[in-house]
Amino acid sequence: MKLSAQEEYGLRCLLHLAKRGDRASLTIPEISAAEGLSIP
């Protein structure tokens, strides 16, 4: 299955949130820094 960059980024963000386990909120810059993603 081929994913667009936008779809891949979305999945990576969701997986990052799921792996954390806690219910604390995160900001987009925090997620992008942890996943090595650029911020638009």
**What are the DSSP calls for 1-40, one per residue?**
----HHHHHHHHHHHHHHHH-S-----HHHHHHHHTPPP-
- The tens digit of pLDDT for each residue in 1-40 reads 899 989 998 999 888 888 887 777 888 898 889 888 888 6
Q: What is the pTM of this model?
A: 0.68
